[in-house]
Amino acid sequence: MERSPAPAPAANVEIKVHPRRGDNVGRSVGPPPPRPSEAPFRPTAPSGGYMPFKRWGPWLVPSFVLANIALFVVTMFVNDCPKNSGSCLARFLGRFSFQPIKENPLLGPSSSALEKMGALEVNKVVHKHQAWRLLSCIWLHAGVFHVLANMLSLLFIGIRLEQDFGFVKIGLLYVISGFGGSLLSALFIQNGISVGASGALFGLLGGMLSELITNWTLYANKVAALLTLVFIILVNLAVGILPHVDNFAHIGGFISGFLLGFIFLVRPQFRWISQRFTSQGRMATPISKHKTYQYALWIISLILLTVGFILGVIVLLQGVNLNDRCSWCHHLSCVPIAHWSCKSQREYCEMTQSGNQMNMTCESNGRSNIFQLPDSNPSQVQVQELCRKLCS
């Protein structure tokens, strides 16, 4: 799974599946898992197979999918590769053509275009008070492959959840989980930019797990349902140890969604349903609608989520990099082995600027070029992108 996949080195954006420190990041998601309530893991019905829960018509999740696709199209329009880059892929698409494969292998825009559209850039969140980027980045994607993978996963996971719990709860679960993924990602990734919906998608997975736990009495084949869902979650989290995948966004979104599931997705206990919807049950002694552990999990989750978000935002706005406080945490995002390296492959350039012209020299290959800037005050991401183009 992926809060999004990342473009190539030149684009300085990674798939959120997880970014590395010093890299740009995107977020992505793998194959969608089945809902625990799907056969053969259907909640047990109290009378003749009838379940007394409202079935909602899904419209919000499809709307989210259309919004993400529309924003990707707008991003490509803003990118305008023929005007802003020397070479483009699929030039017959005009200003909707893609950046070169070496710059963005996901078939998408440049990192500067994503930055303009609201990508997560910690420097701007901390020093320019643009905290809104923690939310805007979950609606942006780094390329065609990225947006397709995430939106297909959203359809398969989100529609079932919206049918079961309604658009309000699932909408809040999606957006708040996306924020949680962005927050944890920003606390560990201080350089580059990040985009993608994978944090929100992992939040839906986390909500599915907590919903199964808190509504345990309603499920048949409980253990099988639990083991299946846990296996799917672990497989998707394991993808995050690959290079250029933002596993911090995945983990942050999953934890947020897991806690939110205990708050938003609580069902009445089985005995209460049986009592209310059977003739014999109506004559019995009334029992509590929810079990004690459901109330306890609701309170604990609300406290943990509130405190975690408040502390996370405070630490982020103070400019703290949690990698400096946790020497091993970077392994949650990438585990180095013989076949790949987790080190950030960053290029370094010397530059001088005169007005709208920047003279830049790449230290690794000695190449020099003079770039015409759109304005005299380029952003850090724009400068990094020019340096990567020169060094690639």
Q: How many other β-carbons are positioned within 10 Å of the β-carbon of residue 55?
A: 9
CB atoms within 10 A of CB 86: 8
Among the listed residues 10, 137, 126, 132, the one whose alpha carbon sits nearest the alpha carbon of residue 68:
137
129-134 LR contacts (CB < 8 Å, sep 24+): 131/313, 131/317, 133/182, 134/179, 134/182, 134/183, 134/186
Residue pair 358/370 in contact (Cβ under 8 Å)? The answer is yes
Beta pairing partners, 100: none
Q: How many other β-carbons are positioned within 10 Å of the β-carbon of residue 75?
A: 25
- Report, as residue numbers or ranges, the catalytic residues: 198, 250
Note the maximum CA span of the chain: 87
- C-alpha–C-alpha distance, residues 122 and 324, integer Å: 16
Q: Is the dihedral of CA 171, 203, 244, 391 positive or negative?
A: positive
Determine the length of the chain: 392
